[in-house]
Amino acid sequence: MVALGADIDGKWMSEAQGKGGPQTLTLKAEGDKLTGSLAGGRGGENPISEGMIHGSDVMFKVVREVQGNKVETSYKGTVSGSELKLSVTNARGTNDVTFKKQ
């Protein structure tokens, strides 16, 4: 698991999707805990919370403030080499997004 943590550490760029454009995900693993931030798209930089990595499985949440309301988005997926495939779930539904390591 330590070697995998080194593989997920760093910057990841999403494929541009919709009006929001690409997003940059910065991640750091310490054991099974995952910390970092998500920037771009339609919002500024936001810290991730409840981040975990178990083997190749990755999960975390991002809470943004939109028009005075807190909006939570959950990210869950897998890392394989230089590709991070995530299912992104919020109040509008679920989308699949692929991030590439920079």
CATH number at 2-101: 2.40.128.20
The model's confidence at residue 16, banded by pLDDT at 50, 70 and 90, is low
Instruction: State how far the Cα of 7 lies from the Cα of 9, in Å rounded to an integer.
Output: 6
Instruction: State how far the Cα of 49 lies from the Cα of 7, in Å rounded to an integer.
Output: 20
* Nearest partner of 56 among 84, 35, 75, 33, judged by Cα: 84
* pLDDT of 18 higher than 70: no
Q: What integer pLDDT is reported at residue 17 of this predicted model?
A: 63
**DSSP code for 16:** P
* pLDDT of 2 higher than 60: no
